[in-house]
Amino acid sequence: MTGTKKKRFGFALGLSIYALVLAGLILIGLICFYFYISAYEYTRPETTLRRYIVAAEEKGFVDEIQPFVDTLDHKLQAEQESIARVQENLTELRYAKKLSACTEDRLVYALKSDNQLVGEVTLSRTDAQRMGFPTWEVTDTTFHLDSLSQVAEVTVPAGYQVRCGSYILDESYLVDDQVHYRLLEEFYDSYPMPAMWRYQSGKYVGDMDVQILDPQGQPVRQEELDEDRLTDNCTAEEKAAIQELTDLYIERYVIYLSGANQAHTPNLFAVVALTVPDSDLYSRLYQALGGQGFASSHGDYLKSITYNHMMRVGEGQYVVDATYLVDTYGQNGAFTTTTNNTKLLLVQTGDGLRAIAQESY
pLDDT digits (tens, 9 = 90+) for 290-345: 766 555 555 688 999 999 999 999 999 999 999 999 998 766 777 889 999 999 99
pLDDT of residue 19: 77
**Residues 344 and 320: beta-carbon distance below 8 Å:** yes
Judged against a pLDDT cut of 90, whether residue 257 lies above it is answered with: no
Average pLDDT over residues 259-276: 88
Query: What residues make up the domain containing 275?
Result: 236-360
pLDDT of residue 187: 97
Q: Are residues 354 and 286 in the same domain?
A: yes
Average pLDDT over residues 155-176: 96
Looking at the whole model, is its pTM more than 0.85? no
CATH code: domain of residue 341: 3.10.450.50
Residue 55 falls within a domain, yes or no?
yes
Q: Are residues 52 and 139 in the same domain?
A: yes
pLDDT of residue 33: 60
Q: Are residues 135 and 63 in the same domain?
A: yes
Q: Are residues 59 and 83 in the same domain?
A: yes
Judged against a pLDDT cut of 60, whether residue 230 lies above it is answered with: yes
Distances (CA, A) of 135 to 32, 55, 337: 19, 18, 85
Q: Are residues 243 and 196 in the same domain?
A: no
- Domain end, chosen from 225, 249, 280, is at 225
Residue 318 falls within a domain, yes or no?
yes
Residue 50 falls within a domain, yes or no?
yes
Task: Collapse the DSSP code of 40 into the 3-class scheme (helix H, G, I; strand E, B; otherwise coil) and give the result.
Answer: helix
Q: Are residues 241 and 194 in the same domain?
A: no
Q: Are residues 241 and 195 in the same domain?
A: no
Residue 156 falls within a domain, yes or no?
yes
Residue 27 falls within a domain, yes or no?
no
Q: Are residues 326 and 270 in the same domain?
A: yes
Residue 35 falls within a domain, yes or no?
no
pLDDT of residue 53: 93
Q: How far is CA 179 from the centre of its chain?
A: 16
- Domain end, chosen from 111, 144, 177, is at 144
Q: Are residues 251 and 349 in the same domain?
A: yes
Look at 28-37, 56-65, 138-147 and tell me which has the smallest mean pLDDT: 28-37
Q: How far is CA 348 from the centre of its chain?
A: 41
Residue 219 pairs in a beta bridge with 213
Q: Are residues 249 and 200 in the same domain?
A: no
In the chain, what percentage of residues exceed pLDDT 70? 88
pLDDT of residue 6: 58
Domain total in the chain:
3
- Radius of gyration (C-alpha) of the chain in whole angstroms: 42
Judged against a pLDDT cut of 90, whether residue 241 lies above it is answered with: yes
Residue 32 falls within a domain, yes or no?
no
Q: Are residues 240 and 356 in the same domain?
A: yes
pLDDT of residue 334: 77
pLDDT of residue 39: 55
pLDDT of residue 30: 65
Q: Are residues 125 and 176 in the same domain?
A: no
